[in-house]
Amino acid sequence: MLNKSELEETIRGCRKGDRYAQNRLYRAFYTWASIICQRYTHDVETTRECVQDGFFKVFTKIDQYGGDQSFEAWLKKILIHTCIDRYRASLHETQTVALQEAANEQVMAENLINADADYLLRLVRLLPPAYRATFNLFAIEGYDYQEIADTLGVSIGSVKSNLSKARLRLREMLGKPQMETAYGK
């Protein structure tokens, strides 16, 4: 990452359309951006596409960054919305799951405590797109039900249902041996 003065200088360069500054910003935040996008995508290729699309939006909208929040927070918001936009675009391509209210299942805490972060990320990436987006927005980003519903363009009932089903699937996957679940065996 860049220190504060380097970041400010790089942002000024990006506002002028300086390719060197854009490359510097991209290289400084690429890994961090990839980690964020991984939580919302199913495969490496989609993650890369979301990162690329996100940075394209950053470079075309850099003048909208006013400095009232940290650059990282602004970039993160763009990346999350880019992933969600991709999810919305894919809705017409994939078969949607019928949504219904489900019991509020809890992921077993002891399994979560014992699982490492990479393994949990792999499990979350195995969830269907609607469950994955809902779970990430709720559990990782801290959005409430209404914010998730507004962001994804679904009802609060759908949010609760998807969250419940995501938790249930994760609990089921956590009950299986790690190698079997992570590699689809």
- Residues 94-139 pLDDT 10s: 444 433 333 333 334 444 445 566 777 788 888 888 899 999 899 8
- Residues 129-171 pLDDT 10s: 889 999 989 988 888 999 888 888 889 999 999 999 998 888 8
- pTM for the predicted model, two decimal places: 0.65
Sole residue written with tokens 């500054």: 21
| Domains located in the chain, CATH noted | 4-90 (1.10.1740.10), 109-182 (1.10.10.10)
